[in-house]
């Protein structure tokens, strides 16, 4: 099963994904895409780490997400990726359009063929005002296109607002 969980900052999307992964009855591997580049990110990472069960596996991969998914996916495993917009940011910061396109296509191509359960978490960024800068507008555009492509491949898509899940595709 492929699931995409979208929501704004502090919407409860990660907590929901962690609950669903824990309830799956499968071995869980958490795939973190963030890079602790400053104190604020260190604090966010520590917060997420503290609420995860100790028996969950953890892999940190800021760029080659599809490769890690292919290596880790198994029928008896749930992979939880948190979060796709940080992964996208990491790729945008490389300023290598070919790499961004290749990694994005690799992710989209590998998803339908992965065994087991995959839960993808991402920030819904396209519901606010249009950003002023070129890079931030591109980020919002790229995230929107990625979400549309992932939603087409997912069996379930959930929007989380104020800690409440709303099923956009598939049942809760």
User: Which one from 42, 47, 48, 147 is the annotated catalytic residue?
Assistant: 48
In angstroms, rounded to a whole number, what is the distance separating the alpha carbons of residues 151 and 154?
A: 5
Q: Is 147 marked active-site?
A: no
- Contacts of 80 by beta carbon, 8 Å cutoff, 6+ apart: 17, 18, 21, 28, 29, 30, 31, 119, 121
- What would the two tokens of residue 49 be? 């780490």
Sign of CA dihedral 90, 76, 156, 55: negative
DSSP assigned state of 56: S
Q: Which of 127, 126, 114 is nearest to 155 (CA)?
A: 114
**How many CB atoms within 10 Å of residue 133?**
8
Q: Is residue 136 within a helix (H) or strand (E), and if so which, with residue range?
A: helix 134-153
* Residues belonging to the active site: 48
């Amino acid at each position: 099963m492929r699931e995409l969980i979208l929501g704004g900052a502090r919407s409860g999307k990660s907590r929901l994904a962690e609950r669903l992964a824990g309830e799956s009855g499968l071995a869980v591997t958490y795939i973190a895409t963030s890079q602790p580049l400053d104190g604020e990110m260190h604090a966010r990472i520590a917060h997420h780490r503290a609420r995860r069960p100790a028996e969950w596996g953890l892999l940190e991969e800021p760029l080659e997400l599809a490769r890690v998914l292919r290596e880790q996916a198994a029928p008896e495993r749930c992979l939880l990726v948190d979060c796709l917009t940080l992964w996208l940011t990491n790729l945008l910061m490389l300023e290598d359009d070919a790499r961004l396109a290749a990694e994005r296509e690799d992710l989209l191509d590998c998803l339908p063929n992965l065994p087991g359960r995959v839960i993808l978490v991402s920030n819904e960024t396209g519901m606010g005002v249009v950003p002023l800068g070129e890079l931030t507008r591109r980020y919002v555009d790229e995230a929107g296109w990625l979400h549309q492509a992932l939603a087409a491949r997912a069996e379930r898509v959930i929007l989380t607002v104020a800690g409440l899940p709303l099923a956009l595709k598939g049942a809760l």
